[in-house]
């Protein structure tokens, strides 16, 4: 690997993290409402809290922004490496984790107050494993519709994702990436889990 390739690969990883750090929910609510999304509702900058406090339209825009910032760098990682690169799967995973952690721990918010990562992870795995993405979205939809709680759907989808990635592709790298991301999604949902267990989690 020559110097240009090192700079190219490193630049995309850094760029993925910076893109992941863009707080779309916070930007949209500051621009179009007087709501401080970080102190009201759940205090989370993700689409669910935005929808709850600022309406469905801004919630959907936040969801789209968080989703697309997962899609773009992971897609570029595959294009940049190309099929001849023996470590393409590993590199794609590094980029996916970078954008995901950017969303969770955004540099623009001093590494605090990031989202829970569900939409960004979904964007990453739409590119990495479309069938696994479909399985996770199906699980999310069924559970969320049945129990009227997005957090429950997100947790089930996160549990389904690594299993679906493995059975649809048998990739150690991609499955490991899915496991890491799912573990952090569960970690970020720890308060929701407590509320679900106590029956106090808000319904949609």
Position 112 in a domain:
yes
Tell me if 23 sits within 8 A of 114, measured CB to CB. yes
What pLDDT shows up at residue 91?
92
Give the model confidence (pLDDT) of 147-189 as tens digits. Answer: 999 999 999 999 999 999 999 999 999 999 999 999 999 999 9
Position 7 in a domain:
yes
What pLDDT shows up at residue 186?
97
What pLDDT shows up at residue 116?
93
* pTM of the model as a whole: 0.93
Position 119 in a domain:
yes
Q: Which two tokens stand for residue 92?
A: 């794609």
Position 204 in a domain:
no
Averaged pLDDT in 10-residue chunks for the chain of 204 residues: 80 96 94 88 86 92 96 92 72 96 95 92 96 97 93 96 96 96 96 91 82
Q: Which two tokens stand for residue 156?
A: 């089930």
Number of domains in the chain: 1
What pLDDT shows up at residue 104?
96
What pLDDT shows up at residue 40?
85
Residue 102 belongs to what domain range?
A: 3-198
- Average pLDDT taken over every residue of the chain: 92
Position 170 in a domain:
yes
Position 127 in a domain:
yes
Position 203 in a domain:
no
Q: How far is CA 110 from CA 13, 79, 151, in A?
A: 19, 31, 25
DSSP codes, 157-182? HHHHHHHHHHHHH--HHHHHHHHHHH
Q: Which two tokens stand for residue 148?
A: 């009227």
Helix (H) or strand (E) holding 191: helix 190-198
CA distance linking residue 185 with residue 51, whole number of Å: 20
């Amino acid at each position: 690997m020559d110097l240009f390739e090192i700079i190219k690969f490193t630049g995309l990883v850094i760029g993925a993290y910076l893109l992941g750090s863009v707080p779309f929910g916070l930007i949209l609510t500051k621009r179009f409402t007087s709501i401080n999304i970080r102190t009201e509702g759940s205090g989370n900058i993700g689409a669910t809290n935005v929808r709850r406090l600022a309406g469905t339209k801004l919630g959907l825009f936040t969801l789209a922004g968080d989703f697309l910032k997962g899609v773009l760098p992971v897609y570029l990682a595959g294009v940049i490496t190309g099929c001849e690169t023996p470590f393409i799967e590993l590199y794609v995973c590094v980029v996916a984790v970078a954008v995901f952690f950017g969303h969770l721990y955004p540099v623009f918010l001093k590494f605090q107050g990031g989202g829970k990562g569900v939409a960004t992870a979904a964007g990453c795995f739409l590119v990495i494993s479309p069938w696994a993405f479909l399985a996770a979205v199906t699980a999310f939809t069924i559970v969320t519709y049945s129990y009227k709680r997005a957090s429950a759907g997100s947790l089930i989808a996160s549990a389904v994702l690594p299993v679906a990635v493995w059975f649809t592709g048998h990739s150690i790298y991609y499955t490991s990436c899915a496991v890491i991301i799912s573990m952090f999604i569960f970690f970020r949902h720890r308060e929701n889990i407590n509320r679900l267990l106590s029956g106090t989690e808000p319904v949609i």
